[in-house]
Chain A
Amino acid sequence: MSAPTPFTARVRRAVRDGHLHEAIGRATGQLEARRGAAFASLEQAELVRDRARHARLHALGRLDAMLETFERRLTENGVRVHWARDADEACRIVARLARERGLRRAVKAKSMLSEEIRLNPALEAAGVQVVETDLGEYVVQLADDRPSHIILPILHLTKEDVGRVMERRLAVPFTPRPAELCRVARERLRGDFLAADLGISGANFGVAETGTICLVSNEGNIRMGTTLPRVHVALLGIEKLVPTLADLDAMLKVLARSATGQKITVYTSLIHGPRRTPDEIAPEEVHVVLLDHGRAATLAGEEAEILACIRCGACLNACPVFRAIGGHAYGTVYPGPLGSVLTPALRGLPEWRELPEASSLCGACREVCPVRIDLPRMLLGLRARGVARHGAPLRLRLAMRAFALLATRPRWLRLARRIGGALARRFARDGWLRRAPGLLAGWTAHRDLPAPARRSFDDWWEERRRGRA
């Protein structure tokens, strides 16, 4: 066997990590059950899904015009709009806003986009202290860890793990009780909220016709982080638009159900701009950073459909591969089936070819996706592009050549079968092999390999036909 790549090494470690499996198994199982129940309570759920899909595809289909409308409405609402071509530019924009205004203390909502552009280190380098205020992200930050799931950042940790992190970093007595852990975090964060002069968030959706920034949460941290500080900066990928508020209704119905099995999240914020009167509790300034970072190119390519993703995480929870390895092993910001398409689409296929390979194409992701994204189709497409443009290992190429040669020449195939079958049966016991050479060694690493049957179906059929004749 060839040396394991970093990805296969991570996979190997993850599949053997019993602690990880316990944490993931419990959470994904519960989420799946809750998602099912939440959709069962939605009237005409399939139609709502269609509506949500259509809203996203409609926005993507005319994204230029949508973005122009969105920018115009935002500006009319008093929001300042910034365009960022890539991660560096986005980070520079936020750092500059902070520097020009003398902002030093930021509270941050959970935002995968900020992970994607690695905003926290950039701001810290610019002298801005950043505190994550989503409970999961708060623990990630304390532990100097990385989120392992796009909705539940600490899916890979048990409550005991969280207790130990807080004990170590906050010097509080160890407890595994969630209520107690929440209380500790809430008390600490309260001071951070009150002291902050900069609030940073992502956005779940932008509504083009009204210039609305929509943010959902369950902890109230986003409501506080986008109202208390003097300045609010919202980061949006350019793909995150829906045309109208009526479309947003469909999106919210499917998002909460898919992400956490709720009918609606505890908080839904619709932000329209800075404060208009001095006594209004809202920031003095609201900024929106619209980020491309590979999205425009993706929209023009074969994986455009992945841009309709609403980041609900349902495909992660349903994916048997994610369940086997968790989020970290993928080595990307966006793990799971969505990430295995999005990452090579945004960041380039050569570096990320292993991700689309790491799927059995079982289709569970497509089945649960609230906007019906055909993930398996794109995983297959990426594999094919990888082979066509960037080649494949010689052993695999030869095997595929041989396959195409034999499977188009029935007589040769019969002969090959006779020789291969006889050979396999020589080494088999009761018709099974424990070890096999070449590519098949991957199979026999974990299961026995059957030798071909002595009499094939075709042999049987031929004998039967002759017997009748």
Chain B
Amino acid sequence: MAGGPSASPPQRVQLFRTCLVNDFLPEAGIAAVGLLERAGCEVEVPRGQTCCGQPAWNAGFREEARAVARHALAGLARTEGPVVIPSGSCADMLVHQTAELFRGDAEWSATARAVAARCVELTAFLAGRVASPPSGTAKPAASRVKTAYHPSCHLLRGLGVREEPLRLLAAVPSLEQVPLAAPEECCGFGGAFSVGQPDLSGAMLERKCAAIEASGADVVASCDAGCVLHLAGGLRRRGSRVRVVHVAQLLDGGAA
């Protein structure tokens, strides 16, 4: 990762590591810590983190979603500085959805708004801090890893983060980006949707996996652990050799 620490004192940031990263993709969280520290941040991980409540919110269980969201918001409200989230969909939950969740509840909607204003998705945060072009020289094309980027829906359309991950990936000399057909079409994860509507979700996944295989990519990267696990599970079931990683892992140089 290029850029390096700026001259100013390190900025304190809170890493909301998300439940999926914690349990299933800790490498992505570890990579995020490395990236943030090299970008001149002092990383803190607020204790007692569990989940943002999105699984219940998406399934229509508002009481349960509120209980979990209150836990997440209370933990974050006690801290200071930007809340960096290595997930587009959890970031969208905290930035946009919790306000709707607590509509009509003055106290908690105020907390939700205050926390929302501090939340930022990892690549959007990094892109805002890394100003200088990459220091390393590009490797010869033959030795670069063919990489396809899968834009997750909530990152793309919820938060409007379209270019940042691509720009960061383009600065990694060991990667060669390859395009996907219908790149912005959903992979069919959708949280509980993948479990509750297996036929629909499976059909969408199949289209996405076919597009990935046709792209000739060695690696697919996304900014959401949900999509990463969904695509990895789908490609694995098909017997594909394409690896699926979190964008943070590629930026950190660990997976390429």
Question: Given A384-B62, A403-B56, is A460 in contact with B30 using a C-beta cutoff of 8 Å?
Answer: yes
Contact at B233–A400, with CB atoms within 8 Å?
no
Which residues of chain B from 128 to 142 have a CB within 8 Å of any chain A CB?
A: none
The CA of A461 and the CA of B33, in the complex, are separated in Å by 10
Which residues of chain B from 120 to 171 have a CB within 8 Å of any chain A CB?
A: 153-154, 156-158
Say what secondary structure dominates the interface of chain B.
Answer: helix
Contact at A442–B196, with CB atoms within 8 Å?
yes
Give the A-B pair count, Cβ closer than 8 A.
192
A277 contacts partner chain B, Cβ-Cβ < 8 Å: no
Contact at A320–B62, with CB atoms within 8 Å?
no
Contact at B185–A456, with CB atoms within 8 Å?
no
The CA of A455 and the CA of B237, in the complex, are separated in Å by 24
Q: Which residue of B lies closest to A324 (CB)?
A: B203
The CA of A407 and the CA of B202, in the complex, are separated in Å by 28
A417 contacts partner chain B, Cβ-Cβ < 8 Å: yes
Q: Which residue of A lies closest to B182 (CB)?
A: A29
- The minimal Cβ–Cβ distance linking A423 to chain B, given in whole angstroms, is 14
Interface 1/0 per residue, A356-376 and B, CB below 8 Å: 011111111011000000000
Contact at B190–A362, with CB atoms within 8 Å?
yes
Contact at A320–B233, with CB atoms within 8 Å?
no
List chain B residues, Cβ under 8 A from A362: 153, 157, 185-186, 190
Contact at B45–A401, with CB atoms within 8 Å?
no
Contact at B153–A363, with CB atoms within 8 Å?
yes
- The minimal Cβ–Cβ distance linking A469 to chain B, given in whole angstroms, is 15
A387 contacts partner chain B, Cβ-Cβ < 8 Å: yes
The CA of A460 and the CA of B25, in the complex, are separated in Å by 12
A44 contacts partner chain B, Cβ-Cβ < 8 Å: no
Which residues of chain A from 12 to 50 have a CB within 8 Å of any chain B CB?
A: 12, 15
Contact at B60–A408, with CB atoms within 8 Å?
no
A86 contacts partner chain B, Cβ-Cβ < 8 Å: no
Question: Given A364-B157, A447-B230, is A15 in contact with B194 using a C-beta cutoff of 8 Å?
Answer: no
Which residues of chain B from 163 to 221 have a CB within 8 Å of any chain A CB?
A: 184-186, 188-191, 193-207
- Size bracket, chain B contacts: 35 or more
The CA of A455 and the CA of B23, in the complex, are separated in Å by 8
- The minimal Cβ–Cβ distance linking B193 to chain A, given in whole angstroms, is 5
- Size bracket, chain A contacts: 35 or more
A449 contacts partner chain B, Cβ-Cβ < 8 Å: yes
Interface 1/0 per residue, B217-256 and A, CB below 8 Å: 0000000000001101110110000000000000000000
The CA of A460 and the CA of B232, in the complex, are separated in Å by 23
A59 contacts partner chain B, Cβ-Cβ < 8 Å: no
- The minimal Cβ–Cβ distance linking A305 to chain B, given in whole angstroms, is 14
B82 contacts partner chain A, Cβ-Cβ < 8 Å: no
The CA of A366 and the CA of B47, in the complex, are separated in Å by 36
List chain A residues, Cβ under 8 A from B237: 434, 446-448
- The minimal Cβ–Cβ distance linking A334 to chain B, given in whole angstroms, is 18
Question: Given A321-B200, A442-B198, is A360 in contact with B185 using a C-beta cutoff of 8 Å?
Answer: no
Which residues of chain A from 219 to 267 have a CB within 8 Å of any chain B CB?
A: none
A445 contacts partner chain B, Cβ-Cβ < 8 Å: yes
List chain A residues, Cβ under 8 A from B59: 383, 387, 396, 400
B48 contacts partner chain A, Cβ-Cβ < 8 Å: yes
Contact at B23–A358, with CB atoms within 8 Å?
no
The CA of A417 and the CA of B200, in the complex, are separated in Å by 29
Q: Which residue of B lies closest to A408 (CB)?
A: B71
A300 contacts partner chain B, Cβ-Cβ < 8 Å: no
Contact at A417–B23, with CB atoms within 8 Å?
yes
List chain A residues, Cβ under 8 A from B236: 432, 447-448
B117 contacts partner chain A, Cβ-Cβ < 8 Å: no
The CA of A397 and the CA of B231, in the complex, are separated in Å by 27
List chain A residues, Cβ under 8 A from B68: 403-404, 407-408
| 21 sampled A-B residue pairs with Cβ under 8 A | A8-B199, A357-B197, A358-B197, A362-B186, A363-B153, A383-B60, A387-B60, A388-B60, A388-B62, A403-B56, A404-B56, A404-B64, A404-B67, A410-B48, A413-B50, A434-B237, A447-B202, A447-B230, A447-B237, A450-B229, A452-B24
In the complex, besides A321-B204, A384-B61, A408-B50, 7 extra interface pairs with C-beta distance below 8 angstroms are A323-B207, A380-B57, A383-B58, A388-B60, A407-B51, A442-B201, A446-B206
The 7 closest A-B pairs by CB, nearest first: A360-B190, A383-B60, A446-B202, A447-B233, A362-B186, A363-B157, A404-B64
